[in-house]
Amino acid sequence: ERRERERCIRDGCSVKDVECGNSGVEGSALCLGAMTCNERNGEGTAIGIVHKAGDMGIKFIDTADSYGRGKSELCLGKALEGLREKVFLATKFFVPYTPDRRLGGGLACSRKHILRYVDDTLSRLQTDYIDLLQLHHPNSKVGVEETLSALDSLVKQGQVLYLGVSNHYACLLYTSPSP
Q: Give the pairing of strands 130-135 and 60-64.
A: unpaired
| Cα distance between residue 61 and residue 27, in whole Å | 10
Identify which of 123, 125, 118 has the alpha carbon closest to the alpha carbon of residue 87. 125
Other beta carbons less than 10 A from residue 26's beta carbon:
11
Number of H helices, E strands in the chain: 6, 7
CA 13 to mean position of chain CA atoms:
24
| Cα distance between residue 35 and residue 15, in whole Å | 21
Active-site residue, 67 included:
yes
Distances in Å between the alpha carbon of 15 and those of 8, 26, 36, 76, 79? Answer: 10, 13, 22, 20, 20
Q: Give the pairing of strands 130-135 and 88-93.
A: parallel
As annotated, the active-site residues are 67
